Every structure is written in structure tokens, then in C-alpha cells.
Copies of this chain bind each other. A is one copy, B any other.
Amino acid sequence: MNGAQALLRTLVDAGVDVCFANPGTSEMHFVAALDDVPGMRGVLALFEGVVTGAADGYARMTDRPAATLLHLGPGLANGLANLHNARRARTPVVNVIGDHALSHKRFDAPLESDIDALTGWTEGWRRTCVDPARIGTDAADAVAAATAGGIANLVLPADVSWGPDGVPASPVSPPAKSTVDDSVPAAVAGVLRSGESTVLLLGSGTTRERGLRAASRIAAATGARLFAETFPARIERGAGLPAVDRLGYLAEQVQWQLTDVRHLVLVGAKSPVSFFAYPGKPSDLVPPGCRTHTLAEVGDDAVDALERLADLVADGVEPVLQQPSRPTLPSGDLTPQNWTEVIGALLPDGAIISDEANTSGVLIPTATAGAPRHDVLTLTGGAIGQGLPVAVGAAIACPDRPVICLQSDGSAMYTISALWTMARENLNVTTVILDNRAYAILRMELTRVGAESAGPRARALLDLANPDLDFAAIAEGMGVPATRARTAEELAEQFSRALAEPGPHLIDAHVPSLI
């Protein structure tokens, strides 16, 4: 058994059975081992940003890491932006980063680079394999580190991969999440009983059913209000679940949402800050006079803390559940509002929404609030180009659930080749491109940052027209059946048809810009 085979054996035994890959020469023994070691599904992507984004989407839905296979420093570099989003999502990912043979590195061959600088950027676990005899231990440790909630980077030199006498290892248990001390829920219970205006901000891991139900009981019993973080990794919502609004993207929205709040309780969430800085405006969005309390730090077992708090303040109180409710199907030319009503009216049961609709999607949460139960995966780190790859990963993770990718046009182009992987793997992903021919968010931001003097040169850099992108042609070119919608009726008909047919589809929806 060579090093690569021992590595694969260990990954599979540890429950890592999908590898999103874009390999090169230095990874050829790993690739060959896929036929020697049963149980690992290799999924080819045509760009590493798709590889890493898909691993993120997969793990958000399974709570287990996928592996990635990346080609030296440049391959990792191409995958970094979506690893940034995964880091912010606290998603488990195991990167296998092929490198030159250890014996080859001193020659500074063209693809040589400082991989450690890049793995350092991910703020994750990292180790370089140096011996096939220890490769199993390395891999088991990587899976455990990732499972604890982060990115694990395993650098695999080619000669360790092809070296003999590889030794697989048994899975290693990841460290358990920290449980908060009893004194903490007790103290927060005291805050909630004060009767003063209180908000619970729900962070990482608490926006799924168990956490939402506990939070809703607390809210029902005490009058506290609930918000989820602006960009949750995964939020469960829809009819039958407690409904929780997310904090807004714009500082002004958050200031409005937190008006007169006296106590902000962080539940595995970070204190709210402005996404960007703006001249003369505060970065810290906790209102003046508001005290912040931490029920659970990011990384703690926040759901457990919430449930214990609920037992203290809401004994016997039931959560408030969202009633089924759908918009009626709209008609007429597409608008920033009516396209969301089409989605809300037709969203299938059990859908997974990969949401990178950006400015076009501001009304989506409202339009889908009472739709059948579904998951939403959001742009956690702000590095655009996440939506399509995350949809790939979610569809691999959950082959029996419909995946809906709501994708703004500008962001789509970053990782557009994800469409090809959807076609190759015949994934049930319906992509709706919100095609407003602009980086619309930047038009808004240009004004918000006070750069009002913008003239034609500036505007040209925010404009995706001239020429218009024809996403239907691009999708067909990658093997994804595609249509174009200009009216709500067309969108509804095309969306229904796409959902009814297996495999991927794309709808290029000509939705005018909100701004």
C-alpha cells in the first residue's frame, strides 16, 4: 500500500467519502488510488474555487467534511476565496494539497511556492505529510480537526504519496464542543427576567431546528426578540419551524432592528459589526446604552446552552411555529419583488436554497417565510462566487432534495464552471440567475461611501452590460439545459418545469436592478 492508498483508506474509514478534485501531476497517485481503495467518490470540478465551495456546501448539509484535492500552491490559491467563506461558516473541510516531492522542492521548479503562507491564511489546522508510515495518522488528525469546525490542510508531497509502506489509521474523535457553565444561562435568565428590551442573536449552529425551537420558547416566554446573524452558514426555516429574521446587511438596517435594545445576548454569535466601514459611521452596531451578554462563545455548544436557558425561563412553553403561507403567483414583467414571489409560491418541500442573490434577493426571505420547510445556505464570508459551488456540494450531499441556486449575475461569473460539474454529476440543481447586468450592490455602495462624484469611467466598472452576458448560452455550453425568463409567468413555468425534470437547469431571469 503506497502513501496515497493509506491516506484514502484512512479518510474513508473516518467517514470522508466524497472528494471534490482538480488534480495535477503531483496528485496522480492519489487519483490512481481512487480505483484501489473503494468508498471514495471523486467529483471533478474545472476550477478550484468550485472544488472548495462544493466542499463547503456538502459539509453544511452533512455536518461531515468532504475532502478536496488541490494542485500545489496555485491550485490552493484558486480555492482560497471559498475557503474564506467556509472559514466564516465554520465548515469542516479537509484539503489535500498535492506538493512537489520533498526531494524536488529545493530545485524551485516553476510550480514551487510557499504553500504554508496560503494554509496560514485559512487560519485552519495544517500539517505536511513527510512519511507514508505516518500518513494515516496525519489524515485521521486532519479529519478530527476539521470536524471540530474548521479547515484542515494536509500537504501531500508527491514522494510521500507514491512512497511504499503506507500505514492507514483509525478515526480520531474530534474534541467535543465546550459546554457552557451553569452560571451562564442562569445569568442570562436574570437578564431576560428584567423585563428590559432584549435581543438574542443566534449564531453558528443555532439556526437549525433544535436551536430555533429553544430560542422560540425563550422568546415566547420572556418577550425577547430573536435575530439570526446576517449570513448564517445554514438556517432552517419555513412552515412548521420558528421564524427568525436575520440581521440586515446594511448598518442602517441593523440600527433600526436594534433600536432601543438594552440587552444583546450573543448565542454562538459575534457582536454585530458593519460589513464595511463608511465615512463618519460607526463600525460597531451595538446601540449606545445596550449591554452585551454572551450565552455561548462561537465554537461552544450553543444549542445546549439555549436549551438549558429555555428550561430556566420557558418551562412548559411551546415554540411559536410559522404557519404555511405562500404568495400568489404574480404576473407581468419581472421585478425585484415579483420574482421572489414566484420562488415563494413554488418552492418545493425540502428544498435547499444556495443564496447568492445579493441585492436582487432582499425580498426572498419574506416571500419564502411560509413556504414548505427548507434550508438556506448564505454567503458567509462575503467572497463572491460561492453560490453555484455550494449548490453543487449540497446536491451531492442530499441527492433526494431539490437544490435551488439563487445567483446574482456578477457573482456567478467567478465560478461559472460549476455548471459543468452539475451536468456531469446530473445534480438536481435549479439555478436562477438574477440578471440585472450590473454589480448592483456597488452602484449602491458607490453612493453610500460618499463617492458621489462618480462619472462614466467609474460607472463602467460597475456595469455588466456591453456586452450583455447570455447565461442561457453559457449554461448550454457547459451541458446544462437553460431558458430565459422576462416575465413572472415565464419564470413560474420554467421554474416548475425545471423542478419536475431530473438533473440541472438554469433560468436566466431578467430582473431589473433594485438600485
> What residues of chain A have their CB less than 8 Å away from a CB belonging to chain B?
21, 23-26, 28-29, 31-32, 34-36, 42, 44, 46-47, 49, 73-75, 77-78, 80-81, 84, 88, 100-101, 103-104, 107-111, 113-114, 117-118, 120-121, 123, 158-159, 162, 231, 270, 273-277, 279, 283-284, 380-383, 385, 410, 413-414, 416-417, 420, 423-424, 441-442, 445-446, 448-458, 460-464, 466-479
| A116 and B68 alpha carbons, distance in the complex (Å) | 25
Q: A78-B78, A274-B109 are in contact. Are A442 and B28 (CB under 8 A)?
A: yes
Contact of A381 among B111, B275, B284 (CB under 8 A): B111
Assembly stoichiometry (copies): 2
Q: A109-B275, A113-B121 are in contact. Are A28 and B449 (CB under 8 A)?
A: yes
CB contacts (< 8 Å) of A472 on chain B: these are 477
Contact of A277 among B31, B47, B121, B158 (CB under 8 A): B158
| A445 and B24 alpha carbons, distance in the complex (Å) | 9
Contact of A42 among B75, B123, B461 (CB under 8 A): B461
A191 to chain B, nearest CB (A): 24
Sampled A-B contacts (28; CB under 8 Å): A26-B276, A29-B449, A31-B454, A32-B446, A32-B451, A32-B454, A32-B458, A34-B455, A46-B414, A47-B414, A74-B382, A77-B80, A78-B81, A107-B284, A109-B276, A114-B120, A158-B276, A159-B279, A162-B279, A162-B449, A413-B417, A469-B479, A472-B477, A473-B473, A473-B474, A474-B474, A474-B478, A477-B477
The residue in A21, A231, A410, A467 that gathers the most chain B C-beta atoms within 10 A of its C-beta is A467
CB contacts (< 8 Å) of A49 on chain B: these are 78
A379 to chain B, nearest CB (A): 9
| A274 and B120 alpha carbons, distance in the complex (Å) | 28
Q: A107-B284, A111-B382 are in contact. Are A466 and B117 (CB under 8 A)?
A: no
A493 to chain B, nearest CB (A): 22
Q: Which residue of B lies closest to A110 (CB)?
A: B382
**CB–CB B88/A84 < 8 A:** no
Q: A121-B113, A382-B74 are in contact. Are A35 and B456 (CB under 8 A)?
A: yes
A463 to chain B, nearest CB (A): 8
**CB–CB A273/B108 < 8 A:** yes
Q: Which residue of B lies closest to A121 (CB)?
A: B117
CB contacts (< 8 Å) of A423 on chain B: these are 467
CB contacts (< 8 Å) of A460 on chain B: these are 42, 44
